[in-house]
Structure formats: structure tokens, C-alpha cells
Amino acid sequence: MTALLEVKNLSRSFGGLVAVKDVNFTLEAGRITALIGPNGAGKTTCFNLVAGSLSPTSGQVFFEGRQIDSTPPEIVCRMGIARTFQIVRPMRDMSVLENAMVGAFSWTKSVMEAKSKAYESLESVGLAGKANARTDQLTLPDRKMLETAKALSTRPKLLLLDEVMAGLRPTEAAGVVRVLQTLAEGGLTILLVEHVMRIVMEVASNVVVLHHGAKIAEGSPAEVVADQKVLDSYLGAGFHA
Amino acid sequence: MQKRFDGGPEIKRWLAGAMVFIVLAFVGSSADPYFISLMTIVLLFTFLGQSWNLMLGIGGQLSIGHALFVGLGAYSVGVLYVKYGISPWIGLFLGMIIAGSVGAALAWLSFRFEVRGIYFALLTIAAAEFARIMFSGWEFVGAMQGLFFPAPTGAIEFSMLRGGARFYYFVALALAALGIIGTELISRSYLGYVWRAMRDDEPAARALGVRTFRHKILVISVSAAAAAAGGGVLGLVQGSIFPDSIMGMGLSVDVLIGPVVGGLGTTFGPLIGSLAAIPLNHLMSAIGDNLRIPGLNNIAYGIVLILVVWFLPDGIWPAIVRLCKAIQAPSRLWLPHLRKAEE
């Protein structure tokens, strides 16, 4: 197994507030890693540092051996890292299909190629049947999946998912879990920020736990939930997976 | 199923567009000189509105200083023709290059220093006013006295883009048609998708790999070059160029009234909006002159704008489209073969 992404001593502060403090982790190709932690633990900041939306105060991020921290998000995307946003951002007056096409224009100028890639992306998240719908006609789970499809159209090697399952009912979340598992089986590496512990247990092969901006634990889901520091700071003493 | 997103409605749209232009061509062959010249202005401002609409309606960048680009186009044609007798075709070409470069430079400077959105719009006003004042004091381009084209002889000289009122009507009609076709082609190309994504949400577009910095510069440059072409023809039609009218705030507002009234970001919006707003402006200023109420046209402009924003916030054209769809929907039930053809 080779490391697709390597985060080294990553720190970021906003004024006096240290949001991410000396974090290290690596992502193995073809696996699903989850970034968890209580509110304000620095998960989204960490995520934005990898995606290029923020520059680190210190530390580095390497993708396929190349240093990518402080690289603008559009270039990071073109290198093979796609992300979704916590707040879903469909583009108004564009259909579901057209939304999914935009990402494809990062590697092609052909509208036909973009259309067929967009269909493929929508199919892989189960939205192909709604390709011609307007985005405001979609339900919340569908909109979250559209965000994923938009990201998939950029042909990423690494997919960063920011709380794709927040606000979903268990049955809806189960559908998303199946989609993510299929994508990972297809060779895609996934990093997800997630709150719902039950889902993390189910999909992730590796879990990184952040607390007050620092990494307090890392390992398989079973190892992490047994970790005393994790139980104290995040899950609570009564947690049973 | 997969092919449903293209097909039937597209052809209908092109046919409807072609019909509109056939009707407009007939208008040019009949009618009285006043009507012809009024319609020439309507079509020129349709084209200018389209250039503005491309920038805001598709690219998401607001300009309130489009007079800058219109003026640069008009002066390029004017200076070359009046001073050196060089064909306006070359003037138009040069004007497009100058305005496109000025637009790109303005955009580059602005976005380089993170001046965005409404602040960029203010910068366009400042640039237009700067150019107006500069041209007002520049003797070489006629300063406040302006530039005058020789009176038309009435003979059509295509190589010099000179002719009578009817000739310019068809020039304006060709420009408006080019504008509509150009807007449609751009909207359907990858640029249209990328620009609309950038318009709706810049951070989201960047995350999808859209290099928004260069695309913003590109859309502004294309819009500026188109506005300059319209400005060059506008100067020829008016027969004279003055900095206060061709580069003034008033012209910037005239440019954006058409698309705002007709429908922002739509292909036919600028045409419909100009058709509604400009004759109204002329009518009201004529009535104002008769009744000795100066500025009645501006009051009417204001009232129309308020009414449109109040009742049809997305413009006249989207309202027409909605109405047509509402009428068509039940009739389709009787024509199952039509629905099949669409699938």
C-alpha cells in the first residue's frame, strides 16, 4: 500500500486561535478514511487545508509525492482531489445533469464528453433517473449525492466528503454508505468528515480523531472506539459501538 | 431516455428565433424613416445589451461602465475614418482589440487585488468616467467638440460601411442576430457551463477545477470587445461622437436597461427589453417636449423599471416563456406523436 496523501505537522491558526495543531496522517490508496471529532475540533479546517481553500500556518501536505499545500483549490482539483461542501451548493437554473457536467470541464472542453461523464457520475450515485430535474426539486439526500456526483465528474483520485450524511435518516444514510463502498471498491480513495459514529464504524477502514485541533487517536474503527482518550473527549463513557 | 435533454425544443427555439428575424427584416423593407431609425437604435442596444448580459447574466460580473467599451469602439472607428479615411471595418476590428485589452487589463488589476462584485462594478464606473474626462480634454480626438462623420450621400458603400438609414438598419439587425447566435453558442459550449457555475458560486466552481481568475478576465474581455463593435456602429449611425454621450453614465444605463427589463441571462431578453424600453423612452421624451415637461422620459424609465422589478423580477422574456408553456401543456395531450418525437 502506498500513501496517496501525506499530511505532515499541519497547523493553522486564525489570529490567536489554533484550529489545527501539528496534525499528521496518511491516506492509503483505495481506502476510506474518516476524520472525526467533536464540534470545533478542526475537522473542516483540516479538510480545507488539504483542498487548497486555506493555506497552512506551518506544515506540509503531499499528494502523490508532490507538495500541494497553499495551492489554489482549482489546481488541487485538477491534480486529482475533489471535494464536496458541508452546505450543499447546487447551481441554480442548471439541471442536475448540467450541474454534474461542470466538473468534467476540468479535463475536457467537449460538451458531449462532459455529458457522458456526468451521466456516469450520476449513475454511480443513483441519480441518473433525475438527470433532467431542476436542482430545487431534489430532496436533501439527493442533493448531497449530487454534490458527490459533481466531484466525481472531475475524475478524482481522492474524494473529500464533508459531512455527506449529516441530516439524513438512517435508511438514506445506508444508501450513501453503499455508494461510498462501491466507489472505494472501484479504486477511489475517500476522506470523509463525519459525525455519525455508526456510519464511520461501517464504512471507514481507518479513523483519525481530532480534538482541540490535535490528533488524539488513529486506527481502525474498533481500536478508536476502545481508546480511552477518544471516549473521554468525544464519544462519552457510555459509548457502545 | 439518455438523449432526452436535446432534440425537439432546441429546433423550435432556433425556428422561433429565425421567425423573429424574418419579421424584423420585413420591418426594414417597409415603414417610414423615423421608424427605421428608431428600430436601428433598438437593435443596436439589443446587441450592446447582449454584450452586457454575457458579462453579468452568464459570467456573473457586473459592469455599470459599459460606456467605456462602447466609447472606445466608437472612437476607434471615428478617429480612423474622420482623420485618415480608413475603413470603419478596420476601425471596428481595432476598437474590439483595444476594448478587449482594456477590459482584460481592468479585470486583471481588479481581481488580482481581490476587488470583486459590487466593488468591481464601482471600478467600471470610475474607469468609464476617467475615459470620458480624458477624451473630453484630448484635442486629437476632438475633445468636447467631438468628431463628425461626413454626411451620408445615401449610396451604399459596403467596404466603407457607409449608407443610408435603411443600410444601417440591416447592419444593426445583423449585429443583433450575431449577438443572439453568439450568446446561444457560448451558452452551449463549455464556456457557458463554466461561466454559469462561476456566476452562481465562485468557491464551488473553483473546487470543481474552474480557473475562475482567467475565466472572469475572459468573459469581461469578450463582453468589452462586443460592446466596442456595437459602439463603432452606433457612432456611424449617429453621425457624430461626443465624449459626454458615448462615454457618459447615461449610456451605461441605456445599455443595461434592455437585458434587465427583458430578462437577465436570457438569449432573447435584451431584444425584448430594448423593444419595450427604447420606443417608450422616445415616446415619453416627445410627449415631454410637447407638454414642456423635461425629463418625462426618465420618469417613465424609472416607473417601467419599478413595475418590471415588482411584477416580473426575472424580466419580460421568462414571463413570456412561462405563458407559452402554460398554453402548450394541455395541447400536448392531444398530440401524443409530438411527445414521442421529443423522446
Strands A3-14 and A58-63: antiparallel
Which pLDDT belongs to residue B302? Answer: 83
A109/B contact by beta carbon, under 8 A: yes
Q: Which residue of A has its CA nearest to B194?
A: A102
Domain that includes residue A5, residue range: 1-71+191-241
Nearest alpha carbon to residue A180 among A154, A207, A152, A155: A152
Which pLDDT belongs to residue A240? Answer: 56
Side chain identity at B259, as an amino acid letter? P
pLDDT above 50 (res B338)? no
Sorted by where each starts, the structural domains of chain B and their CATH numbers stand as 8-342 (1.10.3470)
Question: What percent of chain B has a predicted confidence (pLDDT) above 70?
Answer: 92
Q: Which residue of B has its CA nearest to A89?
A: B204
Mean pLDDT across chain B, nearest whole number?
87
A199: alpha, beta or left, given left = phi > 0 and alpha = psi -120 to 50? Answer: alpha
| Contacts with B190 from chain A: Cβ below 8 Å | 105, 108-111, 114
Q: Is A80 helix (H, G, I), strand (E, B) or coil?
A: coil
pLDDT by residue (tens digit) across B80-108? 999 998 999 999 999 999 999 999 999 99
Question: Under a CB-based contact definition with an 8 Å cutoff, are residues A60 and A10 in contact?
Answer: yes
Residue A210 maps to a domain: yes
pLDDT by residue (tens digit) across B121-161? 999 999 999 999 999 999 898 888 889 988 877 778 888 88
Under 8 Å CB-to-CB from B154, ≥6 apart: which residues?
B163, B164
Which pLDDT belongs to residue A165? Answer: 83
Q: Which residue of A has its CA nearest to B213?
A: A74
pLDDT above 80 (res A238)? no
Of A77, A91, A97, the CB nearest to B207: A77
Give the closest-approach CA distance of A87 to chain B in angstroms: 10
| Contacts with B343 from chain A: Cβ below 8 Å | none
pLDDT by residue (tens digit) across A165-191? 888 888 888 888 899 999 999 999 999
pLDDT band at B8 (very low <50, low <70, confident <90, very high): low
Q: Percent helix, strand, coil in chain B (nearest 5)?
A: 80, 0, 20
Give the closest-approach CA distance of A238 to chain B in angstroms: 39
Residue A31 maps to a domain: yes
| Contacts with B212 from chain A: Cβ below 8 Å | 74
Under an 8 A CB cutoff, do A82 and B208 touch? yes
Q: Which residue of A has its CA nearest to B210?
A: A74
Q: Measured between alpha carbons, how far is A172 from B9 in angstroms, rounded to an integer?
A: 35
Residue A170 maps to a domain: no
Under an 8 A CB cutoff, do B190 and A73 touch? no
pLDDT by residue (tens digit) across B42-90? 999 999 999 999 999 999 999 999 999 999 999 999 999 999 989 999 9
Q: Measured between alpha carbons, how far is B21 from B27 in angstroms, rounded to an integer?
A: 10
Domain count, chain A: 1
Q: Measured between alpha carbons, how far is B192 from B185 in angstroms, rounded to an integer?
A: 8
pLDDT above 90 (res B318)? no
b/e code A82-115 from CB counts within 10 Å (16+ = b): bbbbeebbbbeebbbbbbbbbbbbbebeeeeebb
B98: alpha, beta or left, given left = phi > 0 and alpha = psi -120 to 50? Answer: alpha
- A-B Cβ pairs (cutoff 8 Å, strict): 81
Residue A215 maps to a domain: yes
ipTM associated with this complex: 0.88
Q: Measured between alpha carbons, how far is A94 from A97 in angstroms, rounded to an integer?
A: 8
Which residues of B lie closer than 8 Å to A, measured between beta carbons? 2, 4-5, 188-190, 193-194, 196-197, 200-201, 203-212, 265
| Contacts with A73 from chain B: Cβ below 8 Å | 203, 206-207
Residue A166 neighbours by CB distance under 10 Å: 14
CATH code at position A198: 3.40.50.300
Please give the residue that has the higher pLDDT: either A53 or B106: B106
Residue A53 maps to a domain: yes
Residue A9 maps to a domain: yes
* Neighbouring-strand partners of residue A17: A14
pLDDT by residue (tens digit) across B237-291? 999 999 999 999 989 999 998 998 898 888 888 999 999 888 888 888 888 888 8
Q: The dihedral of CA A16, A17, A22, A26: what is its sign? A: negative
Residue A201 maps to a domain: yes
Residue A167 maps to a domain: no
**B157 phi and psi, to 5 degrees?**
-120, 95
Which pLDDT belongs to residue B339? Answer: 43
Under an 8 A CB cutoff, do A85 and B197 touch? no
pLDDT band at B34 (very low <50, low <70, confident <90, very high): confident
User: Would you give the DSSP letter of residue A126?
Assistant: T
Which pLDDT belongs to residue B342? Answer: 41
Q: Measured between alpha carbons, how far is B298 from B329 in angstroms, rounded to an integer?
A: 40
Q: Measured between alpha carbons, how far is B101 from B190 in angstroms, rounded to an integer?
A: 23
